[in-house]
């Protein structure tokens, strides 16, 4: 009887999570999709964002979101994967017990703190060394890359530890070095877990708002380089939802709908890459 009750309770919790996600998805699309058809695809995917005057173009924000996310992954994946490999295969237990909690502590730091650090340290550094306003795609990418490190490191570390020891022993028995074992055996074996960590990090990067508002510059244009200012979809929603009304408010929900579709599309691509033989 206890097992049956536990089974039904867990089933109810699982379906309640699915139901909550379905309701959120329905609400976002129900509020945003009609505006897309009302404005027309040509208007909606143009460069003119003036929702109070009939301009609903979000193309520059879509490009900005993708550029910032790709830049964050370019920073976070190499460092995150390198950190996970070092902790799992090349460090002592003492170092593991010390560094892993420190890395995971980064996940508890509020995004506004990362944004403040970016304004005080990173933006002036980029302005003096590379030129430009400093508030740029590069600054946002670096900060977001640091913010997604705990996710990628923790999940990749657990995935590497989950690989059976016999894989390592078999590789060493065939004469492979430690590094060859990591590259040729462990990383392919832990690929699904590593990609899962990257997907979660990607979701954090594309959905981040406060830090991006503070350091990206919020310029409504397609950036010509990584040193130009940019505005993302999440920044637009956060900056304008407080005073938006009518079609303006519906346009912000439409931005949320497009962001939802982008995340789904990126997750599908990552899953396909994971499942490739």
Q: What are the structural domains of the chain?
A: 2-275 (1.10.3720.10)
Cβ atoms 136, 126 nearer than 8 A: yes
Between CA 202 and CA 200 the distance in angstroms is 5
Q: What is the mean pLDDT of residues 77-99?
A: 88
Percent of the chain with pLDDT over 70: 98
Cβ atoms 106, 150 nearer than 8 A: yes
pLDDT tens digits, 170-215: 988 888 888 889 989 998 888 888 888 888 888 888 888 888 999 9
Between CA 147 and CA 76 the distance in angstroms is 8
Query: How many other CB atoms are found less than 10 A from the CB of residue 119?
Result: 17
Q: What is the mean pLDDT of residues 237-243?
A: 86
pLDDT tier at 221, thresholds 50, 70, 90: confident
Which pLDDT does position 275 carry in this prediction? 67
pLDDT tens digits, 9-48: 888 888 888 888 889 889 888 888 888 888 888 888 888 8
The structure tokens 């028995």 sit at 173
For the chain, strand residue ranges (E) read: 49-50, 55-56
């Amino acid at each position: 009887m206890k097992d049956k009750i536990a089974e039904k309770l867990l089933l109810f919790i699982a379906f309640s999570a699915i139901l909550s996600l379905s309701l959120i998805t329905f609400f976002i699309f129900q509020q945003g999709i009609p505006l897309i058809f009302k404005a027309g695809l040509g208007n909606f995917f143009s460069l003119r964002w003036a929702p109070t005057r009939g301009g609903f173009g979000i193309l520059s924000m879509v490009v900005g979101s993708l550029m910032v996310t790709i830049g964050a992954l370019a920073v976070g994946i190499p460092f995150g994967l390198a950190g996970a490999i070092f902790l799992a295969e090349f460090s002592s237990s003492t170092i593991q017990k010390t560094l892993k909690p420190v890395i995971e502590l980064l996940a508890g730091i509020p995004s506004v703190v990362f944004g403040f650090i970016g304004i005080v340290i990173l933006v002036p550094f980029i302005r003096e060394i590379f030129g430009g306003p400093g508030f740029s795609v590069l600054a946002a990418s670096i900060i977001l890359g640091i913010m997604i490190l705990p996710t990628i490191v923790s999940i990749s570390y657990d995935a590497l530890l989950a690989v059976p020891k016999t894989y390592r022993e078999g590789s060493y028995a065939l004469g492979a070095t430690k590094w060859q074992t990591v590259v040729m055996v462990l990383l392919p074996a832990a690929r699904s877990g590593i990609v899962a960590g990257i997907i979660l990090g990607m979701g954090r990067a594309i959905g981040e708002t406060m830090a991006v508002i503070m350091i990206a510059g919020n310029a409504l244009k397609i950036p010509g380089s990584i040193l130009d200012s940019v505005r993302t979809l999440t920044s637009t929603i956060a900056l304008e939802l407080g005073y938006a009304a009518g079609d303006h408010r519906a346009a912000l929900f439409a931005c949320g709908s497009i962001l939802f579709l982008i995340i789904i599309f990126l997750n599908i691509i990552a899953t396909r890459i994971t499942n490739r033989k």
